[in-house]
Every structure is written in C-alpha cells, then in structure tokens.
Structure 1
Amino acid sequence: MSAASSLLSEDQFLCSICLDVFTDPVSTPCGHNFCKKCITTNWDLNFPSQCPNCKKVFNTRPELQVNTFISEMVAHFRQLAEQRTGGGSQKHAAQAGEVPCDVCTGTKLKARKSCLVCLVSYCETHLEPHVTMPGLKRHQLIDPVTNLESRMCAKHDKLLELFCKDDQMCVCMLCTISEHRAHEVVPLEEEYEGKKTELGRKGAELLQMIQERQLKIEELKHSVEVSWENAYREIKANICAFTKLKYVIQRNQTKVTEMIEEKHKTTERQADGFIKELQDEISELKKKSDELEQVSHSEDHCGLLQNFPSLNAAPPTKDWKEVGVHFPSYDGSVRTTVAQLVEMVENEMKTLFPKAELKAAQQSAVEVTLDPDTANPELILSEDGKQVYHGNTKRNLPNNPERFSYCACVLGKPIDHSGRFYFEVQVKGKTQWVVGVAKESINRKGRISINHKNGYWTVCLSNETVYCASTDPPVRLPLKAKLEKVGVFVDYEQGRVFFYDAHAANLIYAFTGCSFTEKLLPLLCPSFNQGGKNSAPLIICPVHPTK
C-alpha cells in the first residue's frame, strides 16, 4: 500500500465541481465521482440532471452511491499529506501523563484508543485498521489507558469481561466455571452502569455537602458581622458613658474598648477557625467530586470497578449542623472596670447603664413554654403554655417524677440557647409569686426550700409589698415601685442570673459567681389563690427590645 500510495497525487482526488479534495465522495451511474454536496447542489439548480463531466442526461435523478474506495483513499491521502508536512507527529506527540501509541516507532504519538482484544493502544494512524477492517471492527475499543495487562486474568490469561457480585471483583469466562462457579456473575457493562449510577449519586451528595459548607461559611461570616455590630453598639454606649464621667474615668475608656474588641476578635478567630475547616473540607470534597466527574466520562469498565471502593469512600467530614459562633456578652464590661473606682462613681454608673444592660440581655430572648407534666395538680395552664394560675382544686393527675407534689410550681420546657437566654414574665395584679430558674435535677416532691443552695435562682413577692431574692438567708430588695413585668437573664459562661424590672429597665438583683453544671429551666410559682385575691395569672410575655 505504501508503494502504491507514493504514486498518488492530489489531482486524482479533486472534485471537478469544487476543485477541492473530495468530501463524502459519491459515484454517478456513468462512473464519475463528485462531492455529494456538489453534485446534489448542481442537480438542484439544473433540470434535467446530467453528469458535469460526460454530459450524460438522466431523465429522473439517479440514486447516488457512496464510493467507499475513494473515501478510504482520500482519508489515506490526507494522512500522508499531513505526515509529509511534519504536522502529525508534532501535533499529536504524546505528552507527559498521556498514553503513547504502542505501535509508533521513534516519536510516540498520543494514543486515541486502547483495544481490549489486542491489549494495545493506538494513535489515530495505527487505529485506522480497527475502523475500516471488518474483522477488527468487532474489537472493543476504550479511551486510552495504561497497564492493559491488568485487564487480563492473571490465572487464566483471558480477558476480564465479567464481574462477580459475591466477591466484588472482575473475572474472566474460565473463572465462572472454577472458583466462581456458584457465584452471581454479570457482564462488566451491566455492573459498570450500576456502579456508575451509584458514583453519580455519591457525586451529587458531595456537591450537596460542598453547598452546605459554603452556606455555613456565609452563616459564619454573617455571624462575625452581627458580632461586630453588637460590639460597635457597645463601644458607642461605653464612649458616651465615659464622656459623662471622664473627669474620673477617662483613662479607663481605652481599656473598656479594647476589652470589647478583644471579645469580638475571639469570636472572629473562632469563626475563622470554622471557616478554615470548612474550606479544607470543601477542597477535599471538590477533589473527590472532580475525581468522580472524571470517572463519569470514562468508558473503562474494569478500571472503574477495580477502583470503586476508593472512589465510593467519602472524605472524612465534620457534622456542621450545630456549629456556630457564640456571641460574646458585653453587658457588665463597664461595671467590671469601674468596680475599682470610688463608691460615688459606682453609684453613678448604675444610673447610667441599666437600659444598655437590659437591651444587651434581651438580644438573648428565647421562646418559653410551660411543661404541664411538671405542674402542681392545683395549677391551671393555658392551652398555649404561656399562662399559669392557682385553681383552688386539686386535679387527679398522674404523680409522675417530674411533677411538683406540694409547692404550687411549674417548670418551663427545655429551651435551645447558646450559653445565654432571657425571658419576661408579667406579674401585674398579684400579691404573691416566685419567678426565676431552677436546675433540671431539683427535688419536686414534698415541701421545698427555694434558695440558690438547693438549685433555685429566683426573686419573689410576698405580703403584696415584700420583694426578696432567694439567697440563704433571703435578701430584701428595696424597690421604689411595684413590679409589673420581670425580666430573667441567664449567662452560663459567666455564672450569672440577672433580674430586671422590664418596664423601668432597672437591674433589681444579680446572682454572680455561680457554677452551672446542668440545664437551667424557667420556674414559675403563681402561689395560692388566697380566696381570689391572688387569682391573676403569671404570663410569659413576648420580649419587646427596650428603646
């Protein structure tokens, strides 16, 4: 063929209509050859149809026949022309990481396909027989791969064309009548499609994980922004306060500002750490996703099945659903600083900052609902669990371990919080009540001494005018006006429970230096009805931020 092809010239493969090398050559009944498009267009414009070369007229347009011999010769001629110009080897030379042609001598061209029958990789030139020769057309071609010997059974030296579902491995035909005789065996193509679908699902899961982590990054970034807004508001409030008192505390202004900024920086560092972890996980997930994407375009059945366990394994990741940053508490920053100042300045500071402190506490407001399983049988709860009052009559309720048997108390249901929570209770119109929080493990049977040593942090009203904090012994609270709404703020980290007059925005009492080792639950005690004198309910109110 090479000797004959050396005699070929370009003129032999030119269409007499377009004067260019044949494209889709076809033959007319008179034996002349033209490009299919050229002769079709010519006949569309002229009637009757005639041969442009010999002028033979056809009364009816003849059916054109593809000239396979000319097609093959044209293709071969184009290939020879490309090799003579030197463009072929330069253009398709195998680069690092590419599969080279096993047949090429000298410069190895890039392989276009690998044959699983011949176990040879071919470049475009040497692949031609597999495209044109009927006997070779039946061979199975795949995208180029290295190490074709791995596609052969090491024991029987036969092509691995089946998959054993029992042992999860590729096998040859002879394996099915020996070691894998009683096993479930399917063609590679069938198992390949199943595994490819499974990897597709895994890829979708990885993309979902990436999206979730990207959303978490945005959430964390937003948390940092909110934290900075809170910090900025606190800084402004502190500057205003220190301006009013700068004749004694001006040198403390910078110290308080730095304290607040450092708390924000701690929050930012925490968020940055989470973001870095998320970005690392995203990077690993993207690598895995890219690997699965590459596999999804491969036709290498055996390779996919052999590498399936490693491809299907997801990178180790962290459960981020409950992860978030904890906003630092800024209330009390100024109070801590001025604690070392003179008594006069301390008293002045208390009159300057109550609204700012209450406003900061209200940012931790939570939804509180009373738990009917804990209510004393004489208490009546509203359907929404927001109100409770004494009903005078003891109802027949199960004496479960959670229920108060003697004291007229009820607990709130466990609440979600981030180390701090705040709620408000309306006490208007009552002559006696107890409001606060209690440990989840408190004793609920028989007579109970409500004080902080027994796990209760509360304030109360008795005899219409006597307000006390549940210390041991109780501390009398010198309030100037009758309370209508009580705000309760808990800070687990700082070990504090604050009580506010929510209407006047005044701090009425603070438990400090506490050590909380378990959950705290809201506690309400409307006390006894007193013949209708104390019949008003305790009401858990929506929190409206102080202006």
Structure 2
Amino acid sequence: MSAACSGTSEHHFLCSICLEVLTDPVTTSCGHNFCKTCISTHWDTSTTSRCPVCNQVFSTKPQLKVNIMMREMVSQFRRESERKAAAPGEQMIQKRREKLEEIRESVRIRKEAADRVKLEDTLSDKMMKMKMLEMKRLQQFAVDVTLDPLTAHPNLVLSDDGKQVYCSDVKKNLPHNKERFSPCVCVLGKQSFSSGRFYFEVQVKGKTDWDLGVVKESINRKGSITATPKNGLWTVTLRDGNVETAYEDPLVILHLKCVPEKVGVFVDYEEGVVSFYDVDAAALIYSFTHCCFTHKLHPYFSPGLNYGGKNSAPLIICPVNQSE
C-alpha cells in the first residue's frame, strides 16, 4: 500500500466538495469519493440526490458507507505527507548537528594545536633556560685574555689595550723574532694554560672571515700551517658565511642557522675538550673531544685578510658577563 500511495498524487485523495483530504471517505455508485459529512450535507440541502462531479442522479438517496480501503489509503497518504513535510526540518536539524560537530572538531583541533604550541614554547623556554645555565656555568671559568704583539703578523693592527685586532693592507716593518707568525695572519694571547678549565669570548660581528681557538705553544710559526689538532690547532673558522671546523681529516663543515656574532671558547685541559659556543643563542657550535694535551695552550686569533675593506671589522675580546 505504501508503494501505491507514494506514487499517487494528492488530488486523488481530495474531496470534490471541501477540496480537503478526505475524512471518512465514502464512494458513490458512480465511482467518486467524498467526505461522508460533505456529501451527506450536500444531499440534505438539495432536492435531488445528484453526484457533484458527474451529475448522475440517484432515484433514491444512496446509503453511504465508509470505504475502508480508501480510508486506509488516505490515512497512509496523510502519514507520508506529514513525514515529507517534516523531512526538510529533520534535514535541517541533521545539517545543524553536522555543522555543530564540525565546529566542535575544529575547536578541538585548534585547542590541540594551541596546546601543542604552548608545550613546544614551554619546552623551548626550558631548553633555553638550560642552555643559559650551561653558559653561566662555563662563564665561571672566564679568564682575562690579551693579545701578544710579539706574535702578531706584520699586517695585523692591535689596539693599545690588547683586546682588538684587525688586518690592514699595510704591512708594518717589524722584527722577525721567533715568536711572530709569518706568513699566517694571526696572533696569540699572552696567557698560556697547562691545566684546569678556562673560557673567553670574542666578538666576530660584521666579519666574513675569522679563525678562533687554541693552539699549543710549540706550534710552527714560520711558514704555512694546516689547522688540525694533529698540528696542534683546535680552531673554528668562518669562510664566506659558513662556519667550518678543522677536525683532523676530513674537514667538518657546520651549516648553522645563523652566523654567530659572539663566540665563546671553553677548554677543559684534563678532559681534553675544546668547545665553541654562540654566546647570544647559548648554543654549542662544535666540540673537539678526546684531545691529548701535553703542551701549554694559548688562545689563537686570526681576523682574516682585509679583502679591500669587506672584512675590516676587528675581532674583539669581550669582558664576560657573569651577572645572574
């Protein structure tokens, strides 16, 4: 019955008198359907019993009985009509539910993302605090380093206080003493260390080339030098924006996120460790480990060639900030 009703249009279930869906439908002998009350009232007010649709006249007033089959079909039609009428509302409710669920899911995802960012920020803050604490620990071993003019290459210009050095295009006429480097453009610190731990910081801001580290006191100062631990040099260098460290063979290239502006150098003589730090970022640049020190060590500085003024900024030995 449901299939029959679903394929039947509404006009089949309308009363021709009241034009509404049939109520207690009755069927005349001519085959037309009316509400029982409608047709009864129509005939009660007429002189003849005539079908309002086809005008067939009945000699006697028909005895009207509810058409049970039609009544059930009408009832099924009403239910389906009500369901169809309610369907848009249900669809809207369902859509609203789905939209609400989407909003909830979006909020959940944003919250998880925010929580993740917050956690990452917290971890980042903790890592930075740990790095800063490590820098503070290293800075406790700070030593006062000054440059030794007796070791400086003739093209190097040292400040009066022995804290700055840069390379000039003019070569000075200096004595060829045994301590002086030639042809390598470098200079040593006056201070030497043969035990314990020591630390110093050097500003390298604005430079394109530099070498920093420590060397053994007995290093060859005349002629070219291959900067490796085997030859008594533990250094980190900057070349064309890439920080690279000479580490035996082969050379280790360090591609840093940013070039440091201040480098910290830490040495633990007994442990055989030489470490380099980006002071501002409190980040380790590189460590030489398992070193075997048997000689006095001196801080080592090379500001690099001038390159027509492109690398004229000085290396500056900075006072170490040990404030809390």
The corresponding residue for 1:485 is: 262
**What is the CA-CA distance between 1:437 and the residue it aligns to?**
0.5
CA distance in 1, matches of 2:136, 2:162: 26
**What is the CA-CA distance between 1:488 and the residue it aligns to?**
0.2
Letter in 2 for 1:443: N
Give deviations 1:385-412, integer Å, cap 9, x for gaps.
1100001111111111111010110000
Letter in 1 for 2:164: Q
The corresponding residue for 1:318 is: none
Tell me whether 1:537 sits opposite 2:314 in the alignment: yes
Tell me whether 1:498 sits opposite 2:275 in the alignment: yes
CA 1:509–1:350 in structure 2 vs 1: closer, same or farther (change >3 Å)? Answer: farther
Equivalent runs, 1:492-531 vs 2, <5 Å: 492-531=269-308
The corresponding residue for 1:423 is: 200
438, 441, 466: which is aligned to 2:242? 466
Report the 3-state secondary structure (helix = DSSP H, G, I; strand = E; otherwise coil) of the residue aligned with 1:368: coil
Give deviations 1:160-204, integer Å, cap 9, x for gaps.
xxxxxxxxxxxxxxxxxxxxxxxxxxxxxxxxxxxxxxxxxxxxx
Higher normalized strand content (fraction of residues): 2
CA 1:353–1:522 in structure 2 vs 1: closer, same or farther (change >3 Å)? Answer: same
Between the two structures, name the one with larger relative contact order (CA 8 Å, sep ≥ 6).
Answer: 2
CA distance in 1, matches of 2:292, 2:257: 31
Higher Cα Rg: structure 1 or 2?
Answer: 2
Q: CA RMSD in A?
A: 2.1
CA distance in 2, matches of 1:353, 1:399: 48
215, 226, 235: which is aligned to 1:438? 215
TM-score (norm 1): 0.35
Tell me whether 1:402 sits opposite 2:172 in the alignment: no
CA distance in 2, matches of 1:461, 1:470: 11
The corresponding residue for 2:119 is: none
Equivalent runs, 1:204-243 vs 2, <5 Å: none
Give deviations 1:321-354, integer Å, cap 9, x for gaps.
xxxxxxxxxxxxxxxxxxxxxxxxxxxx977732
Tell me whether 1:393 sits opposite 2:202 in the alignment: no
Identity %: 60
CA distance in 2, matches of 1:545, 1:419: 19
**What is the CA-CA distance between 1:478 and the residue it aligns to?**
2.6
**What is the CA-CA distance between 1:447 and the residue it aligns to?**
1.2
**What is the CA-CA distance between 1:456 and the residue it aligns to?**
0.6
Instruction: Note if contact 2:272-2:291 (Cα within 8 Å) is conserved in structure 1.
Output: yes
350, 355, 361: which is aligned to 2:138? 361
**What is the CA-CA distance between 1:442 and the residue it aligns to?**
0.3
**What is the CA-CA distance between 1:360 and the residue it aligns to?**
1.1
Give deviations 1:93-145, integer Å, cap 9, x for gaps.
xxxxxxxxxxxxxxxxxxxxxxxxxxxxxxxxxxxxxxxxxxxxxxxxxxxxx
Of stretches 517-526 and 413-422 in structure 1, the one that deviates more from structure 2 is 413-422
CA distance in 1, matches of 2:211, 2:193: 23
Instruction: Note if contact 2:128-2:282 (Cα within 8 Å) is conserved in structure 1.
Output: no
CA distance in 2, matches of 1:389, 1:411: 13
Give deviations 1:40-71, integer Å, cap 9, x for gaps.
xxxxxxxxxxxxxxxxxxxxxxxxxxxxxxxx
Higher normalized helix content (fraction of residues): 1
Instruction: Note if contact 1:505-1:546 (Cα within 8 Å) is conserved in structure 2.
Output: no
**What is the CA-CA distance between 1:481 and the residue it aligns to?**
1.4
Report the 3-state secondary structure (helix = DSSP H, G, I; strand = E; otherwise coil) of the residue aligned with 2:308: coil
Letter in 1 for 2:167: H
Question: Number of aligned pairs?
Answer: 200
The corresponding residue for 2:191 is: 414
